[in-house]
């Protein structure tokens, strides 16, 4: 569904992404792993159009999107949860969710299934986003991205700011969720494969600080 080929990106004179190739298939979870500063966030921002690529191609459902604006990519079916969540702190939970429907007709209701996924949000519809805990804000950010029913959901650092007792064993969670993994180092993909092979291939050692 999503295909990235030979993508390069620079900040000034620094070569941030180096000939990155990856695919994300329909109905599957692909995780991008790596230590801090290896280019993961830059890659995800490039997929969303927040950072322009210097060369290479990005296609969604076989259609090139590397020249498309972020809002055009959202309309094409990409949902994005940025690092740090970036919810609207002064808006209520309900208003934040409605922002996720911004390009839909004004009468479009907030999908009921969001409250099945995140029951706490239904109880807090009138509360301001900035008054929620870190974990609740993360749920709100994911729900906002899901509101329009995207084909592809991109999550950047989804566990950041969440208490350790909520994320008890991140390695175990990733292994359970990942259909496919990609490991980055210094802007390059250095390993990839089925999620079931992560433990056997020693992927934890590749990304350990």
Whether 176 has a pLDDT exceeding 70, the answer reads no
Residue 95 host element (H or E): helix 93-99
Q: What pTM, to 2 d.p., does this model score? A: 0.86
Q: What is the pLDDT of residues 53-106, one digit of tens each?
A: 999 999 999 999 999 999 999 999 999 999 888 899 999 999 999 999 988 888
By the 10 Å C-beta count (0-12 exposed, 13-18 middle, 19+ buried), 44 is classed as buried
Inter-residue contact 8 to 17 (CB < 8 Å)? yes
What is the percentage of the chain residues whose pLDDT exceeds 90? 61
Q: Where are the domains of the chain?
A: 1-77+166-209, 87-150
Determine the Cα–Cα distance for residues 52 and 49; give it in Å rounded to an integer. Answer: 6
Q: Given this model, what pLDDT does residue 172 score? A: 58
Q: What is the pLDDT of residues 135-157, one digit of tens each?
A: 889 889 989 999 999 999 999 98
Exposure of 85 in the CB half-sphere (CA atoms within 13 A): 23
Superfamily of domain 1-77+166-209: P-loop containing nucleotide triphosphate hydrolases (3.40.50.300)
How far does the chain reach from its first CA to its final CA, in angstroms?
32
Strand intervals (E) in the chain: 2-11, 14-24, 30-33, 55-60, 63-64, 78-81, 152-155, 180-185, 188-194
């Amino acid at each position: 569904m999503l295909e990235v080929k030979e993508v390069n990106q620079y900040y000034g004179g620094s070569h941030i992404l180096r000939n990155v190739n990856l695919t994300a298939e329909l109905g599957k979870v692909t995780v991008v792993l790596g230590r801090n500063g290896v280019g993961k966030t830059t890659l995800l921002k490039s997929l969303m159009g927040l950072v322009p690529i210097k060369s290479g191609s990005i296609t969604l459902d076989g259609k090139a999107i590397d020249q498309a604006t972020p809002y055009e990519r959202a309309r094409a079916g990409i949902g994005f949860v940025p690092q740090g969540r970036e919810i609207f702190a002064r808006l209520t939970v309900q208003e934040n969710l409605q922002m996720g429907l911004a390009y839909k007709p004004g009468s479009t209701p907030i999908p009921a299934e969001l409250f099945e996924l995140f029951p706490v949000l239904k109880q807090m519809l009138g509360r301001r986003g900035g008054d929620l805990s870190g974990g609740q804000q993360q749920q709100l950010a994911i729900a906002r991205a899901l509101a329009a029913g995207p084909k592809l959901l991109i999550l950047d650092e989804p566990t950041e700011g969440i208490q350790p007792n909520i994320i008890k064993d991140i390695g175990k969670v990733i292994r359970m969720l990942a259909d496919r993994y990609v490991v980055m180092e210094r802007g390059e993909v250095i390993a990839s494969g089925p999620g079931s092979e992560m433990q056997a291939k020693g992927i934890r050692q590749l990304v350990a600080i």
